[in-house]
Amino acid sequence: MPTTLANLEHRADEDPFVVAKGGFYRRWLTMIDDLDELIGIVAGLEGTTEDKWVPVWQAAGRRHEDAGDALTDQGDHAAARRAYLQAKTYYAIGRFPAEITPTKARISADCARAYRKAAAHLDPPMEVLDIPCDGKTFRAHFRAPTSAEPGPAILIMCGSDVFKEDRGWAAEMALDAGLSSLVMDAPGTGENPFPWEPDSVKAWVAAIDALRARPEVDADRVGAFGISRGGYSVMQLAGTAPDKVKAVVAVAGHPFGYRMTDAEMADFVTARNRRAGFRFGAPDGPPSFPEWSVEKENGIYDGWALSSLGLVDRITMPVLMINGSDDHLAPIGNIYYMLENGPVGTRSARVYKGSGHCAFEHQPEWAPAAFAWLAEKLA
């Protein structure tokens, strides 16, 4: 019997040698057609440094990309698109966590190429936009329903280790809900040249401005959707530009303003340090993730928390927050904090008991519901 998402065990960790709900591969599970293929690839992994990691995922991606090329030659564009999306996803796993070395940059280019092939025959088409901001430009993907009148739109925000090529499904769901969309990389990732720092919100604001300026878009009916670090960013943007953002969906996100208990902090630091134990770059290179400590987390909180930035009370538009109750990277207390603060009646939440970061195993439920909610709020 083929493995399905429901068959997988649940593990809230970052172990790349195990395929599990809530585990390392949670980011991509719903994008992979054949979970048994993924499980077989993972079973053959010999390490995570790029010399042992990248060739494995590059080979998997190439198999699907070659299949897509053959199907394209046969004129079967729908099947070719599926093959190219599988190729994109395997290349994306190989790129993880980012373009931190030349080898990672090369497989990232493979990922972008496969995604462009997948998008070549989309209807309505995908348009690549180069958006100016503060003397630089960043690239984003725009799609709009076919309509004679300007309509509502969504800015789709990516997180720290999943790029815009992995959010094409969100643009599709936006279209299904009658929404235009603009998908962009987070600062410090992909084709976004801005560093990851609190001031990087200016890139999100520039994206909102570009979206509102499109002739297909009603500038007064624009919202935002983000997952993981993007869940934080969508809230930061909403508080920074509340006149431009009319509805928000935040899946996970941290820090909002919740202070962890000592026990939660200890578990949080332990989880971060377990992740820091895996190196995804060169064998002799630096750690892919920094070691964590209570002091470091408190410093992040002081500089980044929505409460520290004075944004909590500025988030007055409708907000829907989604997460698992046992998130090891964005504690669920963030959601409860936002429900307990700010305007009464504007904030709602869906918490999946026993689920981990972003409740990805429940994405087939919460994702279409989230876009339907956005369409309703922007109607």
The answer to whether residue 179 is domain-embedded is yes
State whether 97 and 168 are in the same domain: no
Domain boundary among 119, 143, 161: 119
State whether 106 and 240 are in the same domain: no
In this prediction, residue 341 carries a pLDDT of: 93
The CA-to-CA distance between both ends of the chain, in Å, stands at 44
State whether 243 and 364 are in the same domain: yes
The answer to whether residue 287 is domain-embedded is no
- Strand 136-143 and strand 151-157: pairing? unpaired
User: Torsion-angle region of residue 195: left (phi > 0), alpha (psi -120 to 50) or beta?
Assistant: beta
Closest by CA position to 264, among listed 323, 322, 330: 330
CATH number for the domain spanning 182: value is: 3.40.50.1820
CATH number for the domain spanning 84: value is: 1.20.1440
Q: How many domains does the chain have?
A: 2
State whether 93 and 150 are in the same domain: no
Alpha helices (H) in 120-255, listed in sequence order: 168-176, 201-213, 229-240
Residue 159: give the domain boundaries. Answer: 127-257+305-377
Separation CA 227–CA 169 (nearest Å): 13
Separation CA 280–CA 285 (nearest Å): 9
Instruction: Determine if the pTM surpasses 0.85.
Output: yes
Domain boundary among 90, 119, 148: 119
State whether 143 and 42 are in the same domain: no
In this prediction, residue 114 carries a pLDDT of: 97
Token couple for 124: 């309505």
The answer to whether residue 50 is domain-embedded is yes
State whether 222 and 111 are in the same domain: no
Which residue ranges in the chain fall short of pLDDT 70?
none
State whether 166 and 206 are in the same domain: yes
Residue written as tokens 């332990």? 270
In this prediction, residue 243 carries a pLDDT of: 97
The answer to whether residue 264 is domain-embedded is no
pLDDT by residue (tens digit) across 15-28? 999 999 989 999 99
State whether 28 and 75 are in the same domain: yes
Burial class (CB in 10 A: 0-12, 13-18, 19+), 371: buried
The answer to whether residue 286 is domain-embedded is no
Those residues whose C-beta lies under 8 Å from the C-beta of residue 37, and which sit 6 or more positions away, are: 60
The answer to whether residue 263 is domain-embedded is no
pLDDT by residue (tens digit) across 139-180? 999 999 998 899 999 999 998 888 999 999 999 999 999 999
Helix, coil or strand: residue 104 = helix
In this prediction, residue 343 carries a pLDDT of: 86
State whether 65 and 172 are in the same domain: no
The answer to whether residue 266 is domain-embedded is no
Alpha helices (H) in 96-200, listed in sequence order: 102-119, 168-176
262-276 helix and 294-304 helix, angle to the nearest 10 degrees:
100
State whether 217 and 343 are in the same domain: yes
DSSP 135-158: TEEEEEEEE----SS-EEEEEEE-
